[in-house]
Amino acid sequence: MRAAVYYGPRDIRLEEAPVPVPGTGEVLVEVLRSGLCGTDVTEWVAGPKLIPLHRRHPHSGHQGPMIPGHEMVGRVVESDSPDLPPGTLVAGAASVPCWDCDRCREGRTNICQRLYSLGLNAPGSHAEYVAGPARSFVPLPEGLSIDAAGIAQPLAVGVHAARRAGARPGDCVVLFGAGAIGSFVLSGLRHLVSGLHVTVVDVDASKLERAARLGADVTVDGRSDLSHLEGADLVIEAAGVPELLTRATELVRPGGRVLAVGMPARRAEIDVHHLVFNEITLDTTVALTITEDLPAALELLQATNLADELVDSVRPLDAIPATLDEMAAGKVAGKVLIDPRL
Ligand SMILES: [Zn+2]
Ligand SMILES: [Zn+2]
């Protein structure tokens, strides 16, 4: 099969690779769409550095050549699971939890201590075929387009963040970041909780315009004075800028909540005295749960036209290096989906 193989920073080669052989309880999936993500960009620019989880898994290290791609939609062609017979269209969660530990039993598969991920610690979907446990895939709802399903995995990350945010109807919410992640969080919030007043802050005017179309009540240029946002019930940092996490703790009202979504490259400075004195809750969110967030994201995509707003283009495998360069330069606003059959 044709595959985009990662050798190191700025070195991805289009190669012939053997079609993976599915094991017990696994499916072989013909890839129809494979999304490019900020994580792909990080690995392209700086090498694999995601999450200490990597060290805990035999596939870890990610040193040698590997097929990336963790946002996948495809058709099951071989199956060792009665739940997903051949022909089933599926979206992949990418994450492979143990399903057996205390956290997995709670449904919190995203923080399983034995978790690994297709496309990050094991071969992923930037190829014609991908294999993985059937339990890491969810069937598509009837009639959902392949392009829309192509953003289900990152949208599920936004849905998870929105659930973790604990917003209540009527809450005044400030969201830092209108990029891909911010957009997915905004969409999740809009569809999970009614009556929110959401202000989105970013420095990019076109991203703010998109945020308005996705349901932001107010958009604010991040370079302006933000003090009028003081008193928010909930402030979400989805830009990955450490100073904004600090700012979030300053803008939230006493008794309010701050949610850290972004992964800052540097440490954020937090005034614990201010947090304690005002009983401010600082919470975090990571990735998605397979059984709850991924089906919710698929439903949301079927009920809305989010995909029209968030899918940038569909490109062939050999476009990956140039696209990652474009993304690293901040020139792509939406999601680029790879169709390995092109
Ligand atoms: Zn991703
Ligand atoms: Zn587990």
The arithmetic mean of pLDDT across residues 290-316, rounded, is 94
The arithmetic mean of pLDDT across residues 16-40, rounded, is 95
Q: Is residue 333 scored above 90 in pLDDT?
A: no
Q: Which residue carries 């005044």 as its tokens?
A: 172
Q: What is the CA radius of gyration of the chain?
A: 20
Ligand 2 centroid from CA 120, angstroms = 18
Three-class SS of residue 154? helix
Separation between Cα atoms, residue 9 and residue 45, nearest integer Å: 5
- Ligand showing the shortest atom-to-Cα distance for residue 118: 1
For β-strands 26-35 and 129-133, DSSP reports them as: antiparallel
pTM, two decimals, is: 0.92
Ligand 1 centroid from CA 194, angstroms = 27
Ligand 2 centroid from CA 137, angstroms = 16
Ligand 2 centroid from CA 94, angstroms = 15
Would you state the pLDDT for residue 52?
Answer: 41
- pLDDT by residue (tens digit) across 218-261? 999 999 999 999 999 999 999 999 999 999 999 999 999 999 99
Instruction: Assign domain 158-284 to its CATH architecture.
Output: 3-Layer(aba) Sandwich (3.40)
Ligand 2 centroid from CA 97, angstroms = 5
- Ligand showing the shortest atom-to-Cα distance for residue 103: 2
Q: DSSP letters along 29-71, please?
A: EEEEEEE--HHHHHHHHH-----GGGGGSTTTT--S-B----S
Cα–Cα distances (Å) from 286 to 29, 51, 57, 261, 339, in that order, read 26, 10, 18, 7, 27
Would you state the pLDDT for residue 54?
Answer: 42
Separation between Cα atoms, residue 339 and residue 318, nearest integer Å: 10
CB atoms near residue 93 (< 10 Å): 31
| Percentage of the residues of the chain whose pLDDT score is greater than 70 | 95
Which two structure tokens, joined as six digits, stand for 57? 């898994």
Q: Please give the residue that has the higher pLDDT: either 125 or 266.
A: 125
Q: Of 165, 185, 187, nearest to 177 (Cα)?
A: 185
- pLDDT by residue (tens digit) across 165-194? 999 999 999 999 999 899 999 999 998 999
- Ligand showing the shortest atom-to-Cα distance for residue 38: 1
- Ligand showing the shortest atom-to-Cα distance for residue 112: 2
Which two structure tokens, joined as six digits, stand for 148? 């829309």
Would you state the pLDDT for residue 50?
Answer: 53
Question: Hey, CA dihedral for 243, 335, 300, 94, is it positive or negative?
Answer: negative
Three-class SS of residue 144? coil
The arithmetic mean of pLDDT across residues 206-225, rounded, is 96
**Would you say 126 and 340 are in contact if contact means Cβ atoms under 8 Å apart?**
yes
- Contacts of residue 318, defined as CB under 8 A and 6 or more positions apart, other chains included, come to 4, 14
- Contacts of residue 248, defined as CB under 8 A and 6 or more positions apart, other chains included, come to 174, 176, 235, 236, 237, 258
Ligand 1 centroid from CA 72, angstroms = 10
- Ligand showing the shortest atom-to-Cα distance for residue 105: 2
Would you state the pLDDT for residue 197?
Answer: 98
| Percentage of the residues of the chain whose pLDDT score is greater than 90 | 84
Would you state the pLDDT for residue 61?
Answer: 46
Separation between Cα atoms, residue 150 and residue 152, nearest integer Å: 6
Q: What is the largest CA-CA distance in the chain?
A: 60
Ligand 1 centroid from CA 36, angstroms = 7
- pLDDT by residue (tens digit) across 35-88? 999 889 988 998 776 544 444 455 444 456 889 999 999 999 999 999 999 999
Q: Which CATH superfamily is domain 2-139+305-338 in?
A: Medium-chain alcohol dehydrogenases, catalytic domain (3.90.180.10)
- Ligand showing the shortest atom-to-Cα distance for residue 99: 2
Residue ranges covered by each domain of the chain: 2-139+305-338, 158-284
Q: DSSP letters along 196-265, please?
A: -EEEEEES-HHHHHHHHHTT-SEEEETTS--GGGTTEEEEEE-S--HHHHHHHHHHEEEEEEEEE-S--S
Ligand 2 centroid from CA 158, angstroms = 22
Ligand 2 centroid from CA 100, angstroms = 5
The backbone region for 238, taken as left when phi is positive above 0, alpha when psi lies in -120 to 50, beta otherwise, is: alpha
Separation between Cα atoms, residue 96 and residue 294, nearest integer Å: 14
- Ligand showing the shortest atom-to-Cα distance for residue 106: 2
Would you state the pLDDT for residue 56?
Answer: 43
Would you state the pLDDT for residue 49?
Answer: 62
- Contacts of residue 198, defined as CB under 8 A and 6 or more positions apart, other chains included, come to 173, 174, 175, 186, 189, 190, 215, 216, 217, 218
> What does the mean pLDDT of the chain come to?
93
Ligand 2 centroid from CA 134, angstroms = 16
